């Protein structure tokens, strides 16, 4: 081993940097596109051969590069985007480090054709020899518009081992290229972007200025179904502005493959921000599924450090907790603040074909597309200010988890809990020994004799609409009857509404239990004998860092002289839970995301079980008055489009579709 210290040649330094900047053809394209955007281009064409391994050509209509600056184009740490260290506090450009082109040139053959406004002709820079330092600049006599064409050939030909052993297959490389180009399409909506091969155009998105036109670009990237299912998110927050789109809960994914976050139009990867968005969906999405979203965070550059990694895909925030809290709140507000009309979207030709061949099927929940309307307001409480630095600030943002450990509060909590159970039991379904036919024979009785507990639970409402005005006032319209003891059928201004009465009533009870518990706070129960927790070694550091927050959740933990962790108090309602697992999961989330919803999730699972047992069961006959009361309560309840397990509670069969099935007007 050579023990003498010497300076590496610029080419070796560039090739080392290329190990981070240039992972493959996709990363080359990313760097070239970002340079074009910084040059002011609004039209970019990308052409690839052999998935970019043999040839990548990018053409833009940006400002171009002047002849006297061309010699510095491929030199390391040459950039036009900053001059001194203070400029890093206000970075708005996509590139700034001056490493990308030098690194790419060190492992490939590169040609650059460029022309600036005012020049009679363009200039050609060639870097194709055995060394990237052998650069040749000549006049480019052929006609060319203002702009730049970057040509990268034979990627990694100067690093044969990497070219042979570490480049992906053509199929995998092409998938990564498409993924990068899609992110560029989303990141720069004003730029027209095309991705081509010698045979065809793979992707194309026209530039747009108006926000409404961005839906077309979303459709190019995520598909038509996402574009139809997405909700606009737009919120001014203390740290800046959030704008973008998130899919309604029914449009969910097995993998987190439709999640794009952009900070000041820079695509980034940040697990804490992604986790914050997922938390907003926790009550309305099926377990194990992932939301889809494209969200733009416009943040003061002074509050975000983009100089964390050469690829610039990771950033660091001055106040991560404030960003994640605001992000979760804004998405949650959109999801819970809108009433979604779930419409059957089976193709008309399919529906007519079904009508001719077989009895009409009621579409399943998976076939439901949604359009949003209505008015179910989420309480607007984001929890105060943005830039709190202490743990106490995190406590202050959780008003729904207040701790009280006095004997009086424990007694009050137990009484309240018992009353809640008794209230739910009063809503239990009719005895199973009574069949549906038995119940239907009593329909000539007064409504008060039939199922008054349900009526008491959801309130009173007129069974008969008062003219066309009421149909416009109430999104779910008015009840017509029941179907097989499972569904309530109603008529609104759009058509036929089908409601899963158990799922809808379950959501109503669930939200009431959560609201009641939020008002009451977390009542703790002291353990007679402190419980010795079996935790991992790093758990002690987390307890010391987040001790106040853990106490706010109702977990009183201590560490003795022998470094053992003991649990002294827990939320009273969690008394029978697996204490080791709960504490470990809470600490793990705190360590990974600096925040946790695990305690609330555990509480909500209990509320969900209580609501499920208390909700209206199958074969329970309701009067029209009771059905309408249920509809009115659904309209007032947050997230009532889905039960607390994430399944739809109702949808609408559009009257036009019903007419088409029966060929009315044809």
∠ Cα 387 392 397 (to 5°): 70
pLDDT at 386 over 70: no
* Helix, strand or coil, per DSSP, at residue 463: coil
pLDDT at 183 over 50: yes
- How far is Cα 474 from Cα 651, in angstroms, rounded to an integer? 15
Q: What b/e string do you get for 187-222 counting C-beta neighbours within 10 Å, with b at 16 or more?
A: bbbebbbbbebeeeeebebebbeeeeebeebbbbbb
Local confidence band at 413 (pLDDT 50, 70, 90 cut-offs): very low
CATH of the domain at 246: 3.30.230.10
Residue 610 contacts by C-beta under 8 Å, 6 or more apart in sequence?
A: 420, 421, 424, 509, 513
Which of 373, 397, 426 terminates a domain? The answer is: 373
pTM over 0.85: no
Same domain, 511 and 478: yes
- Label residue 471 left, alpha or beta by phi (over 0 means left) and psi (-120 to 50 means alpha): alpha
Identify whether 276 is part of a domain: yes
Same domain, 354 and 388: no
What pLDDT does residue 177 have? Answer: 95
Which of 373, 406, 427 terminates a domain? The answer is: 373
Same domain, 614 and 600: yes
What pLDDT does residue 40 have? Answer: 92
Same domain, 300 and 428: no
Per the CB < 8 A criterion, the answer to whether 326 and 236 are in contact is no
- Looking at per-residue pLDDT, the higher value among 115 and 411 belongs to 115
Identify whether 399 is part of a domain: yes
CATH of the domain at 59: 3.30.565.10
| Count of CA atoms in the C-beta half-sphere (13 A) of 282 | 19
Question: 60-64, 65-69, 161-165, 577-581 — which one is most confidently predicted on average?
Answer: 60-64
Same domain, 390 and 362: no
Place of tokens 């009771």: 626
Torsion, Cα 136 140 144 146, to 10 degrees, reads: 50
What pLDDT does residue 18 have? Answer: 64
Same domain, 470 and 516: yes
Same domain, 78 and 167: yes
Same domain, 489 and 619: yes
Identify whether 633 is part of a domain: yes
Residue 29 contacts by C-beta under 8 Å, 6 or more apart in sequence?
A: 46, 48, 52, 56, 58, 177, 180, 181
The mean-pLDDT minimum among 25-29, 387-391, 491-495 falls in 387-391
pLDDT at 556 over 80: yes
Question: 417-431, 456-470, 542-556 — which one is most confidently predicted on average?
Answer: 542-556
Identify whether 547 is part of a domain: yes
Phi, psi torsion values for 634, nearest 5 degrees: -60, -45
> What value does the mean pLDDT take over residues 530-548?
78
Residues in the chain: 666
Identify whether 468 is part of a domain: yes
What pLDDT does residue 489 have? Answer: 94
Same domain, 451 and 484: yes
Which of 349, 373, 397 terminates a domain? The answer is: 373
Q: What does the block give as tokens for 76?
A: 């390391």
Same domain, 470 and 619: yes
> What value does the mean pLDDT take over residues 397-417?
45
Local confidence band at 200 (pLDDT 50, 70, 90 cut-offs): very high
CA distances (Å), 172 to each of 38, 50, 168, 177, 493, in order?
Answer: 28, 11, 6, 9, 50
pLDDT at 304 over 50: yes
Same domain, 327 and 414: no
- Which residues partner with 523 through β-bridges? 404
> What value does the mean pLDDT take over residues 10-29?
75
Identify whether 157 is part of a domain: yes
Residue 311 contacts by C-beta under 8 Å, 6 or more apart in sequence?
A: 20, 21, 23, 27, 30
Which has the closest alpha carbon to 177: 19, 21, 24, 293?
24
- How far is Cα 575 from Cα 302, in angstroms, rounded to an integer? 46
The beta strand positions in 20-96, using DSSP E, are 43-49, 55-60
CA distances (Å), 314 to each of 187, 272, 290, 623, in order?
Answer: 15, 12, 21, 58
Q: What b/e string do you get for 158-168 counting C-beta neighbours within 10 Å, with b at 16 or more?
A: bbeebeeeebb
- How far is Cα 498 from Cα 653, in angstroms, rounded to an integer? 8
Identify whether 301 is part of a domain: yes
Per the CB < 8 A criterion, the answer to whether 409 and 572 are in contact is no
Number of domains in the chain: 3
What pLDDT does residue 536 have? Answer: 67
Which has the closest alpha carbon to 149: 181, 176, 174, 112?
112
Question: Which residues form the domain of 251?
Answer: 211-373
- Which residues partner with 488 through β-bridges? 482, 499
Residue 281 contacts by C-beta under 8 Å, 6 or more apart in sequence?
A: 249, 252, 291, 331, 335
The pLDDT tens digits of the residues spanning 123-144 come to 999 988 777 677 888 998 889 9
Identify whether 378 is part of a domain: no
């Amino acid at each position: 081993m050579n023990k003498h210290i010497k300076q590496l040649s610029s080419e070796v330094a560039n090739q080392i940097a290329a190990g981070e900047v240039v992972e493959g053809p996709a990363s080359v394209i990313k760097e070239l596109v970002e340079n074009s955007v910084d040059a002011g281009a609004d039209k970019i064409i990308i052409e690839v051969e052999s998935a970019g391994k043999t040839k990548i050509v990018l053409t833009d209509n940006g400002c171009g590069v002047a002849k006297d600056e061309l010699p510095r184009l491929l030199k390391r740490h040459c950039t036009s985007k900053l001059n001194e260290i203070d400029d890093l506090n206000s970075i708005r450009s996509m590139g700034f480090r001056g490493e990308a082109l030098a690194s790419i040139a060190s492992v490939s053959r590169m040609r650059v054709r460029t022309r600036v406004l005012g020049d009679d002709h363009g200039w050609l820079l060639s870097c194709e020899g055995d060394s990237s330092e052998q650069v040749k600049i000549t006049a480019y006599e052929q006609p060319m518009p203002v702009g730049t064409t970057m040509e990268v050939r034979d990627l990694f030909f100067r690093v044969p081992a990497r070219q042979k052993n570490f480049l992906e297959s053509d199929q995998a490389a092409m998938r990564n290229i498409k993924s990068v180009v899609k992110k560029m399409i989303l990141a720069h909506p004003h730029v027209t972007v095309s991705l081509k091969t010698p045979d065809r155009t793979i992707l194309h998105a026209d530039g747009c200025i108006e926000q409404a036109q961005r839906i077309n670009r979303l459709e190019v990237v995520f598909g038509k179904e996402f574009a139809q299912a997405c909700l606009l998110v737009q919120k001014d927050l203390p740290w800046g502005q959030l704008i973008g789109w998130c899919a309604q809960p029914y449009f969910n994914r097995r993998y987190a493959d439709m999640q794009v976050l952009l900070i000041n139009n820079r695509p980034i990867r940040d697990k804490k921000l992604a986790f914050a968005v997922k938390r907003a969906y926790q009550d309305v999405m099926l377990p194990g599924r992932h939301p889809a979203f494209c969200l733009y965070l416009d943040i003061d550059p002074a509050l975000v450090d983009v100089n964390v990694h050469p690829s610039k895909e990771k950033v660091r925030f001055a106040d991560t907790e404030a960003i994640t809290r605001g992000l979760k709140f804004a998405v949650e507000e959109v999801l819970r603040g809108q009433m979604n009309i779930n419409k059957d979207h089976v193709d008309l030709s399919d529906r007519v074909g079904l009508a001719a061949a077989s009895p009409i099927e009621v579409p399943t929940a998976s076939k439901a597309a949604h359009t949003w309307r209505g008015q179910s307001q989420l309480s607007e409480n984001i929890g105060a200010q943005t830039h709190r630095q202490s743990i106490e600030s995190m406590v202050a943002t959780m008003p729904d988890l207040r701790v009280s450990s006095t004997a009086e509060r424990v007694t009050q909590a137990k009484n309240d809990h018992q009353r809640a159970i008794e209230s739910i039991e009063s809503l239990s379904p009719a005895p199973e020994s009574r069949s549906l036919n038995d119940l239907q024979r009593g329909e000539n009785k007064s409504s008060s004799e039939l199922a008054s507990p349900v009526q008491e639970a959801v309130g009173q409402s007129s069974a008969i609409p008062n003219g066309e005005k009421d149909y416009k006032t109430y999104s779910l319209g008015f009840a017509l009857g029941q179907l097989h003891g499972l569904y309530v059928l109603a008529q609104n201004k759009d058509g036929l509404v089908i409601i899963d009465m158990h799922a809808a009533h379950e959501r109503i009870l669930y939200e009431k239990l959560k609201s009641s518990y939020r008002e009451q706070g977390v009542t703790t129960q002291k353990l007679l004998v402190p419980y010795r927790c079996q935790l991992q070694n790093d758990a002690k550091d987390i307890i010391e860092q987040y001790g106040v927050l853990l106490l706010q959740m109702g977990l009183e933990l201590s560490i003795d002289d022998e470094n053992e962790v003991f649990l002294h108090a827990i939320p009273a309602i969690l008394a029978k839970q697996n204490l080791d697992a709960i504490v470990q999961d809470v600490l793990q989330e705190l360590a990974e995301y600096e925040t946790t919803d695990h305690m609330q999730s555990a509480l909500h699972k209990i509320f969900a079980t209580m609501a499920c047992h208390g909700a209206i069961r199958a074969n329970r006959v309701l009067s029209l008055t009771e059905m309408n009361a249920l509809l009115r309560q659904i309209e007032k309840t947050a997230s009532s489009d889905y039960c607390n397990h994430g399944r739809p509670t109702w949808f609408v069969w559009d009257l036009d579709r019903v007419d088409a099935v029966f060929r009315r007007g044809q």
